[in-house]
Amino acid sequence: MVAFKEEFPYLRCESGQLFEFNRDWLHAAITRAADQAGYPRWWLTDHVTESIAFYLRLRTDESVVAFSQLSQTVRYVLQVIGYKEIVPYFKPSPPPITVSLIDLAYEAGTGYELAFFDLLEKRIQSLIDAGTDTLHLCALQPAIKHLQRTKVWTRACDSVREDVICFVREKLVSSGALGRLDCSLR
């Protein structure tokens, strides 16, 4: 992957999964840590978030930054500005992830449905293993049309759609991630 000059570098977690930086995600993680440390509606959350975003934007020499390095930087900033009591509570999960089902359908190639479900299972499992707590699966309808090799929606598409929904639910339940993972499918 390539991060463009005026954009943020990608974040890489220990499993190697890449994530896009998201200000709202960082803001929520800092807010959560401050709340747990006894600072509800902490007045510096916006400033710390923007400082970290500015720091990441300056890192144009790197297209990928380790997730642990970002966490360490936030902890350092909190300590330097005199709020070290927040540091132990700053334990961010990876940012929200969006997976394009149409991309998986294309990647499945001539394997079609069987390969698609295998790829989907591997992708979901790798994201669960990486600690993702928000997962958006998108482009369901185009993916199904591609798998069915049709341009118009058919009854067979309805059946495959139900299979995909049931498959995703089953994977989340069997992995034990259902209670801690917010997943949407559209």
pLDDT at residue 60, rounded to an integer: 63
A 10 A CB-CB count for 74 gives 23
**Alpha carbon of 16 to those of 61, 87, 92, 113: distances in Å?**
20, 25, 17, 26
User: Reduced to 3 states, what is the DSSP secondary structure of residue 21?
Assistant: coil
Along the 186 residues of the chain, how does pLDDT read in single tens digits?
444 444 788 888 876 778 888 888 899 999 999 999 999 999 999 999 999 999 888 876 788 888 889 999 999 999 999 999 999 999 888 778 889 999 999 999 887 899 999 999 999 998 888 778 888 999 999 999 999 999 999 999 999 999 999 999 999 998 887 677 788 888
Confirm if 130 and 21 have CB atoms less than 8 A apart.
no
Q: CB count, 10 Å around CB of 2?
A: 7
**What is residue 178's predicted lDDT score, i.e. its pLDDT?**
67
Residues 101 and 25: their CA atoms lie apart, in Å, by 23
* Contact assessment for residue 170 and residue 132, using Cβ atoms and an 8 Å cutoff: no
**CA-closest candidate to residue 63, choices 2, 150, 139:** 2
Residue written as tokens 């994201």?
127
- Give CA–CA dist 129/144, Å, rounded: 26
pTM (predicted TM-score): 0.70
Residues ≥6 apart with Cβ < 8 Å to 89: 32, 33, 34, 36, 37
